[in-house]
Amino acid sequence: MAKMNFGGVVENIVTNKEFTLEKAREVLKNETIAVIGYGIQGPGQSGNLRDNGFNVIVGQRKGHSYDKAVADGWVPGKTLFSVEEAVQKGTIICMLLSDAGQISVWPTIKQYLTPGKTLYYSHGFAINWQDRTGVVPPKDIDVIMVAPKGSGTSLRTLFLEGSGINSSFAVYQDASGHALDKTLAMGVGIGSGYLFETTFKKEATSDLTGERGSLMGAIEGLFEAQYEVLREHGHSPSEAFNETVEEFTQSLCPLFGQKGMDWMYANCSTTAQRGALDWRPRFKAACKPVMEWLYASVESGNEAQISIDKNSQSDYRDKLNAELKEMHDMEMWRAGETVRSLRPENQKD
């Protein structure tokens, strides 16, 4: 592991230079990696592991995701099995089902977690809030985590492009004495850009905070607020969407993603610079109390319980689809659909 300085804070970082793909293959040469679940993370992680030369099988119940696995080249009876069969055959069990799915299938899976096996996660939810989920692993197995900081689709796409998504890693239980090496080998195997150290608790709390905060919840709320204000003051849908979303995603995000926010500020007009610098502390002052409230709700387990309760409802999928349809039908995103169709790359001759 290398020591890296992040703004004065030193962290443990692992890249594929310190822990090579060849070393990862050596560490896992006698392992059968069973990827359980073929939904969000399953396709990307299993595909990358397979392409990197690891022994991988998939466990998935019959249905749409099972058919997708077949279409992706997983062979029923050879590399594609039921969840129960895959857990029995695997030595590293990758729990890549949804959080609710992991809770429901845990009683079935637990009986096959024999001494010496490894339980692998990409999210700390089930273990960190085990008093609420009931997921308590046996003491004679390793429990590890590699959590990509992005979707499974992005993990796969960037891997195929020759890059990768950064991932956090953690060891919760080291029964074998070799859990850390297995963790890092899995991180390299799934195609991580670099790996940074965390704990199951920190990963779970930061992940839920980020999803509800700047990554999804807060950014959508901010977009809606600005778009509505512009529309209520007479601006057209096209103008409101371009000033709220399109310029942000197509012009500014790539700039500060590549070079940093200070660089992006330095390469905008002096009017934009001045306004952004003046209003930044006002937005921070308004938002930080909400972020503190959010973090407290996550840390207490309240957000986890809400998720467990909602996801366990028999009609949850129907309710979710109704909420997503409501967002889909908003004028802002319908305007966005039109704006996207007018991008040069979407214009046909």
Active site residues: 123
Classify burial at 2, counting beta carbons within 10 Å of its beta carbon; exposed 0-12, middle 13-18, buried 19 or more. Answer: exposed
CA distances, 93 to each of 87, 122, 280, 347 (Å): 6, 11, 45, 46
Question: Facing residues of 5 across strands?
Answer: 10
Q: Could you tell me how far CA 288 lies from the centroid of its own chain? A: 24
Q: Do residues 97 and 63 make contact, with C-beta atoms less than 8 angstroms apart?
A: no
How many whole angstroms separate alpha carbon 347 and alpha carbon 21? 42
Q: Do residues 53 and 25 make contact, with C-beta atoms less than 8 angstroms apart?
A: yes
- What would the DSSP string read from start to end of 52-71? TT--EEEE--SSHHHHHHHH
